[in-house]
């Protein structure tokens, strides 16, 4: 039996007050991150240099005493390790050489990915060794659909037209890319678990853009395959899914994929999620990052209503999406203290 609050909640227990961590809790809103950022190479170098990535992962734990640390990395480290050209440009975001044909797809190599991702596993090992007793280490990957969005589009996009039209117009090529991502994600998350990740999270940021039929095929099916493979290899290691902008499918997603927790995005009503999620499945979320940015009474009021909606069921307090870089770190400290004082 574990005494770590996050793992108890993912095991189906209602813990009060709920444990807390925040998406993007390491990053630009922290002066200690900006200090490292200015003196280190690029973003990929920070993700693949174990000393730096370990330090950055632990910064929010040191400052706020969160109940979980999330590995400092990015969902696009996997396509980078598979051999796609990936760069992170300041003020622009990720830029990738798009994959649009069989020939582009042939560039990707699972064998190489294992080598290139090995520094990430070293980071997982060193973070795990450095964490306080009660703090849970979360590994993660992007879900295949969201990673495919960036791989096909070549970067961020308002509506990912290239990606979604490939899914309809060239389902064979799209399906082959998703298969590569399902297999490599299983391998990548397995390696993180072997190195010491105690739970893993699948980020499907763009899941809510799909039609219901495409959602089943490209969000639920891949997540189900990944969860099944991980459960078979690592029974007892819980999986959290984040089908963002698809909160109306939270119950269906949980039932069909077999995840142990569902992260709710900002727009999802937690009271409704509490009635649609299976009783033992943890809800994670879902404070509006803008309420955190604003702070004060707005933040406390939103927080209270989420706590009330999910009281009595397994709940991990979090945001509905990542912390914004302009956020005052004092608001984060205040939020943690407010949730813990309930």
Q: Where along the sequence are the contacts to ligand CP3 (CB under 6 A)?
A: 23-28, 37, 43, 70, 72-76, 88, 93-94, 140, 156, 203, 205, 322
Judge contact between 20 and 317, C-beta under 8 A: yes
Cβ at position 300, least distance to ligand CP3 in Å: 23
Closest CA to 143 of 211, 61, 239: 239
174 or 203: CB nearest ligand CP3: 203
Q: Which is nearer to ligand CP3, 76 or 81 (CB)?
A: 76
Say if CB 103 and CB 156 are below 8 A apart: no
Taking CB positions, which residue lies at the least distance from ligand CP3? 205
Is 11 or 322 the residue whose CB approaches ligand CP3 more closely?
322
Q: Are 45 and 86 in contact (CB under 8 A)?
A: no
Q: What angle do CA 188, 182, 149 make, to 5 degrees?
A: 100
* Of residues 137 and 227, the one with the C-beta less far from ligand CP3: 137
Closest distance of CB 256 from ligand CP3, Å: 21
Q: How far is the CB of 323 from ligand CP3 (least distance, A)?
A: 8
The number of residues making up the chain comes to 342
> Whose Cβ is closer to ligand CP3: residue 58's or residue 274's?
58
Least separation in angstroms between residue 172's CB and ligand CP3 is: 26
Q: Is 34 helix (H, G, I), strand (E, B) or coil?
A: helix
Spatial separation of the C-alpha atoms in residues 211 and 201, rounded to whole Å: 23
The answer to whether the beta carbons of residues 14 and 337 sit under 8 Å apart is no
């Amino acid at each position: 039996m574990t005494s770590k609050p996050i793992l108890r909640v993912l095991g189906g227990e209602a813990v009060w007050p709920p444990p807390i961590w925040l998406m993007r809790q390491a990053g630009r809103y922290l002066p200690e991150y900006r200090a490292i950022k200015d003196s280190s190479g690029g973003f990929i170098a920070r993700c693949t240099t174990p000393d730096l990535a370990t330090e950055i992962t632990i910064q929010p734990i040191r400052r706020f005493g969160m109940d979980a640390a999330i590995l400092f990395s990015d969902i696009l480290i996997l396509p980078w390790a598979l051999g796609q050209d990936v760069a992170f440009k300041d003020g622009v975001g990720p830029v990738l050489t798009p994959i649009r044909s069989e020939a582009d797809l042939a560039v990707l190599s699972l064998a190489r990915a294992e080598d290139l991702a090995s520094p990430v596993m070293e980071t997982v090992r060193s973070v795990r060794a450095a964490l306080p007793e009660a703090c849970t280490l979360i590994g993660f990957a992007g879900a295949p659909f969201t990673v495919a969005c960036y791989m096909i589009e070549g970067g961020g996009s308002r509506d990912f037209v290239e990606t979604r039209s490939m899914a309809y117009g060239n389902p064979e090529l799209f399906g082959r890319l998703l298969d590569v991502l399902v297999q490599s994600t299983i391998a990548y998350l397995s390696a993180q678990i072997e190195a010491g990740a105690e739970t893993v999270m699948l980020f499907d940021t763009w899941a809510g853009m799909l039609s219901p039929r495409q959602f089943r095929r490209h969000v639920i099916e891949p997540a189900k395959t990944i969860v099944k493979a991980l459960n078979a290899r690592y029974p007892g290691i819980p999986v959290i899914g984040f089908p963002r902008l698809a909160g109306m499918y939270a119950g269906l997603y949980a039932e069909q994929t077999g995840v142990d927790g569902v992260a709710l995005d900002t727009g999802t009503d937690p009271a409704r999620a509490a009635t649609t999620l299976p009783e033992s499945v943890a809800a994670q979320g879902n404070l509006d990052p803008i309420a955190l940015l604003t702070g004060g009474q707005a933040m406390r009021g939103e927080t209270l209503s989420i706590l009330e909606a999910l009281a009595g069921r397994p709940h991990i307090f979090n945001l509905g999406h990542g912390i914004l870089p302009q956020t005052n770190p004092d608001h984060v400290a205040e939020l943690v203290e407010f949730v813990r004082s309930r």
